[in-house]
Copies of this chain bind each other. A is one copy, B any other.
């Protein structure tokens, strides 16, 4: 969410921020669920957050660090001594409730890492450390062991160290378990933050595929599953594994890929397609637009979710990643060189999905979709 008034760069929100139209809600019939009807009132959230930010007036003296201005971006950044560090914080959201339903915890443990390091990656920072936060009703040894395995797998993929954490037993405060974390990254010698400031019209937008829903949109998905009485143990039509397992697949970790590209003069921007979907691109530049005229066919899982709720494309593309989890924006004349580099770094599957144009916002012309802002 972009804050114009106050330079608090990464005060991000979990859910897609625009609620449109009047949702048709009939609990027993063919209900049309949206974030609003699933209980997430985003206009109220925006107003509340604006009120919080309005109260923040203090500016620390420069000997306590010099914040880097990049309002609304994926990570907060601050210069301390001779280094710039980047900080991101995010939770796994209500995906944990699906994990609980299925009794599988390794995937969401890994998500703690993914949701955070991918935001670091989007400013070109290299992840160094992570702290996790586990709020629970009661600590279960088996659950924690599985979370540990997932965390370990995520750390390995991101080449990141667990620096600590907080485990709170707060039965009066949470239902089940809440998983979150904060990641801290840095910029290796000579590398500047990648903010999108060097974007220009004509740049090519490359998309790196996701591996499912990652950790966004689960409040909505869970309502749909419930509403349609979906059997999580059975595969959806056309799939081979149980749909519960398919939905739970952990967030793909893009940080090593971005790390291999950040700092190159021909790499002009990154975006993590988390909560807000394609709207995340708007966070990169206020006066340039993003034309996504080669979006690949979304994987069948997304179309299946869409069919459960008869959701419009507009809602889908601003709630889910729709098949593309991370974006790299590149100077057109260096495209093949960057693609070779991407392939070596672990993303041979990157594909050109659009280009940068004059004007603002995000457009998917084939679907007639247009988003003017991030939030």
Contact = CB atoms under 8 A, between A and B. Distances in A.
A63 B188 contact: yes
A42 B142 CA distance: 16
A172 B175 contact: yes
Contacts of A169: 14-15, 39-42, 45
A76 B130 CA distance: 9
Contacts of A182: 87, 89, 131, 182
A147 to B, nearest CB: 6
Given A55-B149, A131-B87, A161 B78 contact: yes
Q: How many copies does the complex hold?
A: 2
Given A85-B85, A141-B51, A159 B41 contact: no
Given A48-B139, A129-B87, A163-B76, A53 B148 contact: yes
A206 interface: no
A349 interface: no
Contacts of A135: 91, 178
B219 A172 contact: yes
Interface in A130-151: 131-133, 135, 138-149, 151
A7 to B, nearest CB: 10
- Dominant secondary structure at the A interface: mixed
A239 to B, nearest CB: 26
B129 A39 contact: no
Interface in A164-220: 164-176, 178, 180, 182, 184, 186-189, 219
A114 interface: no
A164 B49 CA distance: 12
A228 B213 CA distance: 49
Contact of A166 (B132, B149, B170, B180): B180
Contacts of A37: none
Interface stretch (A93-101, A307-315, A358-366): A93-101
Contacts of A171: 39-40
A44 interface: yes
A28 interface: no
A47 to B, nearest CB: 5
Contact of A167 (B11, B61, B174, B189): B11
Contacts of A51: 141-142, 144-145, 148
A232 B59 CA distance: 36
A327 interface: no
A188 B81 contact: yes
Contacts of A91: 133, 135, 166, 168, 170
A41 B140 CA distance: 11
A14 B167 contact: yes
B82 A81 contact: yes
Given A41-B138, A87-B129, A148-B52, A77 B173 contact: no
Nearest to A135: B178
Most buried by B among A12, A40, A81, A93: A81
A329 B171 CA distance: 36
A64 B139 contact: no
A97 B168 CA distance: 15
Interface string A106-128: 00000000000000000000111
Ranked nearest first, the 7 interchain pairs of A and B with the lowest CB-CB distance are A76-B163, A10-B164, A55-B148, A65-B128, A48-B139, A182-B182, A52-B148
